[in-house]
Chain A
Amino acid sequence: MTKQILNPDTWVDRYSDYLFNYAVTRVNDAEIAKDLVQETFFAGLKSAKNFKGEAAERTWLISILKRKVIDHYRKINSQKAKAMVRITQNRDSENEGDFMEQQVADPDSLLENSEIENKELGLAIHECINKLPKKQALAFTLKTINGLSTEEVCKELNINPSNLWVIIHRARTVLMDCLNTNWFKI
């Protein structure tokens, strides 16, 4: 196996969106997620000399971010140590939901599952975007995720609209193939 090396200069371009998505689905707050990503990069720089080159750069950064997310929850939990869980026993309704058994989540419901799936789907798509050539990745991100208009993207990339559509089309074709192997068949 080839030994991995770190390139901190490219971290922001290559991994920030991926890490940000990872964080934002776990802390549910864009501002906190942004801070966590930044702290992750700092911690990465600090302990760069401990990097043994066994894992890929991104895997290594994700493992730091994981610790940061856990630390974040520890911190907010210690602040509200006295919080209590209250359950209202007697609601106004006559018979629906009077028993505790009727108040728990429906075990057959697929809703919770689909939320978890969507988190992973987001990461899978970002992983595929990372594999695209830089220009395609940028065009696709600006158009699809940031929802910019065609003129704005053209101006940003300095190309004409028909060029842009060809680029986006190519990006989408590659992404679909990539998701086919990394995710479920589309």
Chain B
Amino acid sequence: MRNCKKAEIICTKIQYKEATFLEKFQIRLHLILCRTCKGFVKKNSKFTSLCDQANLKTLPVEEKEKMKRILAERQ
């Protein structure tokens, strides 16, 4: 069970391309044995591609602060 938890977190790191070589090796090994995690990896990658596809945007923090100030003044 503990291994699965670890594998899932490595899988999340892989989504951001930040897993180390050792971690990648560990997850390969784990995935041979564990079906549940294989499913999770698939779902996780799909989610990453959905996020890319959606082209998400946020307002920059400074803009938000500015808006907050102006809103507070008007209240």
Contacts and interface: CB of A to CB of B under 8 A. Distances in A.
A122 B58 contact: no
A55 interface: no
A64 interface: no
A9 B13 CA distance: 35
B32 interface: no
A84 B67 CA distance: 39
Contacts of A125: 50-51, 54, 56
Interface string B41-52: 001101100110
A24 B50 CA distance: 18
Given A38-B70, A168-B12, A186 B57 contact: no
A130 interface: no
Interface in A126-143: 126, 141, 143
Interface string A27-63: 0001000100110011001000000000000000000
A111 B31 CA distance: 36
Interface residues of B, number: 29
- Interface of chain A: mostly helix, strand, loop or mixed: helix
Given A8-B71, A17-B58, A121 B50 contact: yes
Secondary structure type dominating chain B contacts? helix
A186 B50 contact: yes
Range, interface on chain A: 35 or more
A183 B59 CA distance: 24
Contacts of B56: 21, 122, 125-126, 144-145
Interface string B26-70: 000000000000000001101100110111111100011001101
A179 interface: yes
A146 B63 CA distance: 14
Interface of B: 8-9, 12-13, 15-16, 18, 43-44, 46-47, 50-51, 53-59, 63-64, 67-68, 70-72, 74-75
25 contacts: A9-B72, A12-B68, A12-B71, A13-B64, A17-B57, A21-B56, A24-B57, A30-B57, A34-B59, A34-B63, A38-B67, A45-B75, A121-B54, A125-B50, A125-B51, A141-B58, A145-B56, A145-B57, A165-B12, A165-B13, A173-B8, A176-B43, A179-B47, A186-B43, A186-B50
